[in-house]
Structure 1
């Protein structure tokens, strides 16, 4: 049962990762030399693309409507919990800033 939740969490993070994509890095000419930073960045993007493709293939092979429904339910419950605790935290901060009046 624990691996199902781990898979669901991984898939949620993967979906959020698709939503938060930056602008693609423009390709440089072959004549210009790559700096170490750009080489590392290109390598990391390559690893990310490979991991993303593997996760997509795994998700497509193991797609179950009941798991999809559980992920949505988990997302709704966690969003409600975060909203509640964020409201409590905001009230506490405001009461500390206002002080005893």
Structure 2
């Protein structure tokens, strides 16, 4: 949970920092100019790319192979158990509906 909080905090700081820099540059332009729209679009695109790169970097730093293997094992065991219980439930339902 702390890594998620750290990532969210970092992204908020990143966006606020870019907003401050962007606000200074946008005040100089005419509000109706097409160049302003291009700058805003470029700015949003750069925010997205920066956030995506930061998230990818954070994921790669916290990636553990043993956890991945445990998750895959847990998924396969739980799906096998669920299919067994679903089969039992289906049989009971058919027996209840069909009668004896």
| Bin of the TM-score, shorter chain as denominator length | 0.3 to 0.5
Structure whose alpha-carbon radius of gyration is higher? 2
Length-normalised TM-score, structure 1: 0.42
Asked which structure has the greater RCO (Cα within 8 Å, sep 6+), the reply is 1
